[in-house]
């Protein structure tokens, strides 16, 4: 089985690759080739630095994905995890960037997979990571968020990023309907706590207000403390993407229906509760490194996302939200101890 991961050098990409290398299988079938695609080369990554891992299992493709689709599909592709994307705030700042990276590149990838299937090759399973940003309130039309958002809630994105993700969802659904690909869509929540440097996501502060104080660095929280967010830990998110990818087709428990999206199970927590948890886990001195200074631009984007989700479809796949935000913080600390 030949498996491709786009955005493989990103945070979630690296976690997914680690899990695929650990099991060396997908849906109980052995992986014979794992193709890692990303614009960013990470030669120091131990995942791809070990020659025993690189050959014959791992193939690294560095550069713009669209420019390398011929190389990626030079041999039959069975599964694609399409994680590569431009994130929320940078899509608002640069419309053309978001369209090029999120829409045009996804369409090119799907066209390559379609060409493979119509020429007699395998129908590739394309696993797309979408976002809760596809949702948004429409108060002017009398459509505020319901008390609990589910996959049956009308998507109404209020950002270019959410709109681009929804466009891709529809394209994948149509290509799945026509038998060109076997599409799977995982709608991700805000992933926290992320280590390392912040990215350009509008939700980046959710990790920063925990990660930076724990490292002794002051940070600014750009939203009001009463704002609620839907989040999932990195490990819960990775598990959900894999479970959605490997599920069989059908309408029963443990199955997915075509390319119908599945919302990754979410933990709902307010920013005030997050800061209170930080104080409980790390003490007042650490928690006081966070300064609240609302930024209307950030609040406009993040505040348009729902915070309370009906997790029943994910539960049918055996997936549950994280137990608590404290468990999320302690999981982060276990893997990234304070010095």
d(CA 125, CA 53) in angstroms, rounded, equals 24
Q: Note whether 224 and 299 are within 8 A (CB).
A: yes
Q: Which residues pair with 221 in a beta bridge?
A: 292
d(CA 301, CA 136) in angstroms, rounded, equals 10
Q: Note whether 17 and 47 are within 8 A (CB).
A: yes
What's domain 85-335's superfamily in CATH? NAD(P)-binding Rossmann-like Domain (3.40.50.720)
Query: In 10 A of CB 190, how many CB atoms?
Result: 26
The candidate with the shortest Cα–Cα distance to 176, out of 123, 134, 130, is: 123
pLDDT over 60 at 238, yes or no = yes
* Per annotation, catalytic residue among 26, 145, 161, 205: 161
pLDDT at 52: 47
pLDDT at 142: 61
pLDDT at 147: 86
Name the pLDDT band for 51 (thresholds 50, 70, 90): very low
Residues 141-192: tens digit of each pLDDT: 566 778 899 999 999 998 999 999 999 999 999 999 999 999 999 999 999 9
Residues 125-137: tens digit of each pLDDT: 999 999 999 998 8
Phi, psi of 132 (to 5 degrees): -65, -10
Average pLDDT over residues 86-90: 89
pLDDT over 70 at 68, yes or no = yes
135 catalytic per annotation? no
Residues 210-219: tens digit of each pLDDT: 999 999 999 9
**What is the rounded average pLDDT for all residues in the chain?**
91
Q: Note whether 112 and 64 are within 8 A (CB).
A: no
Angle between helices 271-282 and 325-335 in degrees, nearest 10: 50
pTM: 0.92
Residues 268-308: tens digit of each pLDDT: 999 999 999 999 999 999 999 999 999 998 998 898 899 99
DSSP letter for each residue of 43-72: TT-HHHH-HHHHTTTEEEEES-TGGGHHHH
The candidate with the shortest Cα–Cα distance to 298, out of 211, 204, 208, is: 204
Helix (H) or strand (E) segment spanning residue 228: strand 228-232
The residue with greater pLDDT, 194 or 258, is: 194
Q: How far is CA 313 from its chain centroid? A: 18
d(CA 125, CA 167) in angstroms, rounded, equals 19
d(CA 206, CA 126) in angstroms, rounded, equals 29
The candidate with the shortest Cα–Cα distance to 195, out of 203, 186, 187, 204, is: 204
């Amino acid at each position: 089985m030949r498996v491709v991961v786009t955005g493989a050098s990103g945070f979630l990409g690296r976690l997914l690759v680690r899990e695929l290398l650990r099991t060396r299988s997908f849906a109980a079938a052995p992986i014979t080739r794992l193709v890692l695609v990303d614009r960013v080369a990470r030669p120091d990554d131990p995942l791809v630095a070990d020659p025993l891992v690189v050959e014959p299992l791992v193939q690294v493709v560095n550069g713009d994905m669209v420019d390398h689709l011929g190389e990626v599909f030079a041999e039959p592709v069975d599964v694609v995890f399409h994680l590569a994307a431009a994130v929320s705030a940078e899509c608002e700042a640069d419309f053309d960037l978001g369209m090029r990276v999120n829409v045009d590149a996804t369409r090119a990838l799907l066209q390559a997979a379609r060409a493979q299937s119509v020429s007699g090759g395998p129908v590739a399973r394309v696993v797309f990571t979408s976002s809760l940003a596809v949702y948004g309130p429409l108060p002017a039309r009398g459509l505020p968020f319901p008390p609990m958002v589910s996959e049956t809630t009308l998507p109404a994105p209020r950002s270019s990023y959410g709109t681009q993700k929804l466009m891709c969802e529809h394209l994948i659904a149509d290509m799945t309907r026509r038998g060109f690909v076997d599409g799977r869509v995982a709608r991700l929540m805000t992933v926290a706590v992320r280590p390392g440097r912040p990215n350009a996501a509008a939700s980046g502060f959710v990790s920063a207000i925990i990660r930076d104080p724990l490292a002794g660095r002051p940070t600014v929280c750009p939203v009001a403390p009463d704002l609620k967010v839907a989040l999932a830990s990195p490990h819960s998110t990775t598990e959900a993407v894999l479970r959605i990818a490997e599920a069989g087709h059908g309408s029963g428990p443990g199955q997915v229906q075509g390319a119908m999206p599945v919302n990754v199970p979410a933990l709902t927590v307010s920013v005030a509760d997050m800061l209170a948890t930080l104080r409980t886990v790390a003490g007042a001195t650490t928690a006081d490194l966070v300064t609240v200074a609302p930024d209307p631009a950030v609040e406009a984007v993040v505040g348009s996302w729902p915070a309370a989700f009906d997790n029943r479809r994910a539960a049918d796949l055996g997936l549950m939200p994280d137990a608590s935000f404290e468990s999320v913080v302690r999981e982060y600390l276990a893997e990234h101890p304070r010095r």
